[in-house]
Structure 1
Amino acid sequence: MRRHTARSHRARTSRSYLTAALLRCALYLGPLSVAAAAAEPLARVAWPVPLVTLLLGWAAAQALTSTGVSLARRAGTTAAARHVGLGFAVVAGVWCALVWVAPASLVGPDRGLALVVGLGGLGTLATVTAALVTRAEAAIVLWSLPAWVLAAITLAEIQPVGTLLPAAIVVALVRAFQPVVVAGRRGRRPRLTPAEVRRGGGYLVIGASQAICVGLVWQAGPSGSTAPFWLPLLLAVPILEALIGWHTRQVESGLDAAESGAAYHRHVRSVTMITLAGLVPPFAVGVALALAAYRLPAGLPGFADTQSGVLGLAGGTLLGGVFAITYLLAARGRTGIAATLAAAPPLTAAALPFLPLPSSGPLPDAVAVLAATHLAGLLVVALIADTDQTLDDSRRTS
C-alpha cells in the first residue's frame, strides 16, 4: 500500500509540474502576441524604445515575481497583486520620465507613440507577473486569447488592428489584477523580510542582465533581424521549463521519499546528472552552429548575411541554455550565483573593447561570451550538487 501511495504521488507530481510548465509557456505567448500585433507601431519608434521597455519590464517582472510569491504565501493574493501593481506603477513612472527627457533620436519622431508603446509593453509584463504570483495562469491565458487573434491577423496582413490591441492589453491587465480591483477592506500592507529583499535584488539583476543579453544579440545581428535569434529561444522554452520543473520537484520529493542520507545523496546525484544531460544539447548545438558559420564557403551569395544569420541562431541557442541554467540555480536557492552568472555576459561584453584581445565583431564576440558562460554554468551546476547534498543531509539528521 505504501509503494502504491508513493507511486500515485509521483504520478500526480509529474502531471503537476508538466501542467505548470505548459501553463507558463502559454502565458509567455501573451507578450509575444502583443509584440507581433504591434509590429507597425514598433517600426515607427526608435530601436531603444522596445529594448529599454524590455529592460525595465523584464527586470521588474523577475524581482516582483520573486517577492510577490513570498507575499502571497504570507499575506494572500490581494497583497501580492497590490505589491506587483505598485512596483510596475513605479516602473511606468520611470518610463514616462525617460520618454519626457530623452532626445528625439532615442524615441523616434512621435514621442507620444513611444510613450504608449512602452506602457503597453510594461502592462503586458505586469499582467504576466500578476498571474504568476496569484496563481491565475490559466485564467490569464484565456483572457490573452484576443491578443493571440490580433497577432494572427497582423501576421496574415488581413487588416490593421488599430485600437483593438490596447483594448486587449487593458482587458487582460484588469483581469490579472482582479484581486486588487474587487478587494474589500484593505488590510495593513505587509513588509518584505531582509531575505526576501535580497532574493528580489538577485532576481532584479538576473532580469536586467537577461534583457541586456537579448539586446546585445539582437542589435549585433544582421540589420536588427529578429527571426534567427528568436527561433531557438521559442523552441527551447517549453523543453527547458519542463526540465527545470522536473529537477526541482524531483529534489523536493526525494527529501521525503529517501530512507537515509546516503539514499538521498544518490538520488540528488542522479537527478543532477540527468539535468546536466538536458542542459548540454543547447551548448553543443550553439557551438556547432558557431563553428558552422565559419565553415561556410566565402563565395556563397549573401555570405555576410548568411553567416550572421547562423551566428544569430547560435547566440539564441546558447542564450536559451544560459537562461535555463540561471533559473535552475535560482530555483535551488543559489540566487547570488545565478545573478553573478547572468551578469557575466553583459559585463564581459562591455569590458571587451578595453582589453588587448582580438575582436571579430559584436556578434561573434557575443556568441563567444555566451558559449563561455554556458560552459561555466554547466560546471557550476555540477559542482554545487555535492554542496546541496551535504546541506540536505544535515537537514535530515538535524
Structure 2
Amino acid sequence: MTITPGRTRTASRRTRRRGPAVPRHSLPPAVITAEPAYAPAPPPREPAEQAPPARSHRAPARRSYLRAAFVRCALYLGPLSVAAAAAEPLAEVPWPVPLATLLLGWAAAQALTCTGVSVARRSGPAAAARLVGGGFAAVAGLWCALVWIAPDTLVGPYRGLALVVGLGGLGTLATVTAALVTRAEAAIVVWSLPCWLLAASALAEPLIGRTAEVGLLLPAAIVVALVRAFQPVLLPGISGRRPRLSPAELRRGGGYLVIGASQAVLVGLVWQAGPSGSTAPFWLPLLLAVPILEALIGWHTGQVEAGLDSAEDGADYRRHVRSVTLITIAGLLPPFAVGVALALAAYQLPAATSSAVVLGLAGGTLLGGVFAITYLLAARSRTGIAATLAAAPPLVTLVLPLLPLPSSGPLPDAVAVLAATHLAGLLVVALTAQPAPTADDPRRTS
C-alpha cells in the first residue's frame, strides 16, 4: 500500500477567482475551461423544455474506485513476486539486509510518491519520473556505501550478494513509485508479468525440480520493468529542469518519509519477534487485508470528494463527511476485533509454538488495520497526525524493555502496542471527521 495524494485539489484554483462569489459546491473542482468559471444564469425555461440535469464529471471516477484499487493491488504484486522468486538468495544473507532494504526503499517510496504526484501535476510525468529516479539513485548510492562499510555480521561474508539483493529490492520499489506518479500502473502490471512467472516457478520448485534459470532471469525481469516505468525520462525530446518543491510540499514529503520509515521498522519488529522460521502467519492476514482496505480508502476519499458536488452548503457537507466517516470506521473495526480475538485466543493454547503462531496472525491483522488508518489520515491531509500515529508503535515497542514493567516477550508486547494504536487510530479518525482545509484548496467549507 502506497499513499497517493489526491490529484484534483488545485485544478480549479485559477478559474474560481474570475467571477463573482457563488455557492461553494456548485461545480466539480476538476472542470477547467477557457471561459469564466461562473457565468450569469440563463433565463428559466418552461418545464417541458428543461434539459435533464447534468451529471457530475466526477461520477465515473466514483464508480471506478474498485478498478483503481484492483490495479494498485496488482501493481504491488510486483515486489512480492520478486521477493518470492529471490527466496534462495534472501536466505543466504543475514536478516538486516532485507530489513534495511525495506526501510530505505519503503521510506523513499512514500516520500517520492507524495512529492512526485505534485510535480507531475505541475510539470508532467517526465519531471515526476526524473524526481523519482534521482531520489532512488541517491538511496542506491547510500545502500552501496552501507554495504561497503558494514561489518560481516550485518551483511554476511558475500558483500556482492548483499549489494545485488538490496539494489534489486530498491529497483523494484522504484518501479512501483514511478508507475504511481506517472499514472502508468496498468502498463507496469503487464511488464511485471515475467516477475510473476519467475515467482510461480520458484514456488513450484519442490514439485518440478530445481529451476536454476530463476536466479539468472530475475535481474533481467527487474530491469525490464524498471526501464518501462522510467520511459518518460528515456524518451527523446523530453527535457527540462526539475521543478523546485515548495516548503509545504517538502514538509508533506517529510511527513510521508516518517510514515514510510515507521511502517518499515514496525514490520521488522513484528517479523523478528515472531516464531523463528515461520513468516506465513505474519504476512498472510496483511496480504489479505490490502485489497479490502485499498477499496475502503478509495471509497471513502471518493465519497468525500463527491460531497462537494451534492452538498448545498458547508453544514450539509460536514454532515455528509461525518456519515461517510461513520461507515469507514465500521469498515475498520473488523481488523481490530479479529486481531484482539486472536491475541486472546493465543493465551488459551497450551503449546508455546501454537500460541506464537496465533499471535503472529494477530500482529499481522492489527498491523493491516493500523496501516489503513494511517493511509486514510494522510489521504485526508492529516499528514502530521498520520506520521505521529505511525511512529508511535515502533517508539513505544523500543522503549518498553527499558521501563520497569512486566513483559511477556517481544511479540506479545508488539501485539499489545498495535492493538492500542489501532484503537487510538479509530478515535482519531472519528474526531477528525471534517477534512483539513489546505492553503491551496479553494473548496474550504469554513
CA RMSD of aligned residues (A): 2.0
Query: 40, 45, 51: which is aligned to 2:88?
Result: 40
Matched, 1:31 2:48: no
Is the Cα–Cα contact under 8 Å of residues 218 and 225 in structure 1 kept in the other structure? no
Q: Partner residue of 1:100?
A: 148
Larger % of helix: which? 1
Q: 3-state DSSP class of the match of 1:46? A: coil
- Provide the C-alpha distance between the structure 1 equivalents of 2:229 and 2:404, rounded to a whole number of angstroms: 50
Matched, 1:270 2:320: no
Query: 104, 107, 132: which is aligned to 1:84?
Result: 132
How far does residue 262 in structure 1 lie from its aligned partner after superposition? 2.6
Is the Cα–Cα contact under 8 Å of residues 233 and 317 in structure 1 kept in the other structure? yes
Matched, 1:60 2:60: no
- Structure 2: runs of 5 or more not aligned: 1-50
How far does residue 329 in structure 1 lie from its aligned partner after superposition? 0.2
Matches within 5 A, 1:289-308: 289-296=342-349, 298=350, 303-308=351-356
Q: Partner residue of 1:126?
A: 174
- CA change 1:344–1:396 in 2 (3 A) is closer
Q: 3-state DSSP class of the match of 2:276? A: helix
Q: Partner residue of 1:200?
A: 253
- Provide the C-alpha distance between the structure 1 equivalents of 2:380 and 2:54, rounded to a whole number of angstroms: 29
Query: 281, 284, 291: which is aligned to 2:334?
Result: 281
Query: 167, 175, 188: which is aligned to 1:140?
Result: 188
How far does residue 3 in structure 1 lie from its aligned partner after superposition? 5.6
**Residue type matched to 1:209 in 2?**
S
- CA change 1:199–1:294 in 2 (3 A) is same
- Provide the C-alpha distance between the structure 2 equivalents of 1:103 and 1:262, rounded to a whole number of angstroms: 61
- Provide the C-alpha distance between the structure 2 equivalents of 1:9 and 1:333, rounded to a whole number of angstroms: 20
- Provide the C-alpha distance between the structure 2 equivalents of 1:386 and 1:66, rounded to a whole number of angstroms: 22
Q: Partner residue of 1:325?
A: 373
Is the Cα–Cα contact under 8 Å of residues 283 and 317 in structure 1 kept in the other structure? yes
Matches within 5 A, 1:1-398: 5-6=55-56, 10=59, 12-157=60-205, 158=208, 159-160=211-212, 161-296=214-349, 298=350, 303-386=351-434, 388=436, 395=443
- CA change 1:185–1:261 in 2 (3 A) is closer
Give the TM-score taking structure 2 as reference length.
Answer: 0.85
Runs (4+) of structure 1 moved beyond 4 Å? 1-4, 386-389, 394-398
**Residue type matched to 2:55 in 1?**
T
Q: How big is each residue's C-alpha offset from its partner over 1:263-300, in whole Å with a ceiling of 9 and x where there is no partner?
A: 2122111100000000010000000000000011x2xx
Q: 3-state DSSP class of the match of 1:95? A: helix
How far does residue 108 in structure 1 lie from its aligned partner after superposition? 1.4
Is the Cα–Cα contact under 8 Å of residues 147 and 168 in structure 1 kept in the other structure? yes
How far does residue 14 in structure 1 lie from its aligned partner after superposition? 3.2
Q: How big is each residue's C-alpha offset from its partner over 1:12-60, in whole Å with a ceiling of 9 and x where there is no partner?
A: 2333211111111000000000000000000000110000000000000
Q: How big is each residue's C-alpha offset from its partner over 1:345-377, in whole Å with a ceiling of 9 and x where there is no partner?
A: 010011101112110000000000000000000
How far does residue 380 in structure 1 lie from its aligned partner after superposition? 0.2
Q: How big is each residue's C-alpha offset from its partner over 1:55-95, in whole Å with a ceiling of 9 and x where there is no partner?
A: 00000000000000000000110000000000000000010
How far does residue 162 in structure 1 lie from its aligned partner after superposition? 2.1
Larger Rg: 2
How far does residue 5 in structure 1 lie from its aligned partner after superposition? 2.4
- Provide the C-alpha distance between the structure 2 equivalents of 1:396 and 1:113, rounded to a whole number of angstroms: 53
Q: 3-state DSSP class of the match of 2:55? A: helix
- Provide the C-alpha distance between the structure 2 equivalents of 1:112 and 1:289, rounded to a whole number of angstroms: 42
Q: How big is each residue's C-alpha offset from its partner over 1:218-238, in whole Å with a ceiling of 9 and x where there is no partner?
A: 000110421000000111000
How far does residue 239 in structure 1 lie from its aligned partner after superposition? 0.4
- Provide the C-alpha distance between the structure 2 equivalents of 1:396 and 1:349, rounded to a whole number of angstroms: 39
- Provide the C-alpha distance between the structure 1 equivalents of 2:331 and 2:270, rounded to a whole number of angstroms: 24
The more displaced of 249-258 and 379-388 is 379-388
Is the Cα–Cα contact under 8 Å of residues 78 and 183 in structure 1 kept in the other structure? no
How far does residue 260 in structure 1 lie from its aligned partner after superposition? 2.2
How far does residue 182 in structure 1 lie from its aligned partner after superposition? 1.1
Is the Cα–Cα contact under 8 Å of residues 86 and 215 in structure 2 kept in the other structure? no
Q: 3-state DSSP class of the match of 2:64? A: helix
Give the TM-score taking structure 1 as reference length.
Answer: 0.95
- Provide the C-alpha distance between the structure 2 equivalents of 1:81 and 1:134, rounded to a whole number of angstroms: 7
- CA change 1:84–1:260 in 2 (3 A) is same
Q: How big is each residue's C-alpha offset from its partner over 1:369-388, in whole Å with a ceiling of 9 and x where there is no partner?
A: 00000000000000011575
Q: 3-state DSSP class of the match of 2:215? A: coil
Is the Cα–Cα contact under 8 Å of residues 133 and 174 in structure 2 kept in the other structure? yes
Identity of aligned residues (%): 80
**Residue type matched to 2:245 in 1?**
L
The more displaced of 117-126 and 184-193 is 184-193
- CA change 1:334–1:224 in 2 (3 A) is farther
- CA change 1:37–1:396 in 2 (3 A) is closer
- Provide the C-alpha distance between the structure 1 equivalents of 2:178 and 2:170, rounded to a whole number of angstroms: 12
- CA change 1:249–1:310 in 2 (3 A) is same
Is the Cα–Cα contact under 8 Å of residues 93 and 161 in structure 2 kept in the other structure? yes
- CA change 1:183–1:362 in 2 (3 A) is farther
The more displaced of 60-69 and 262-271 is 262-271
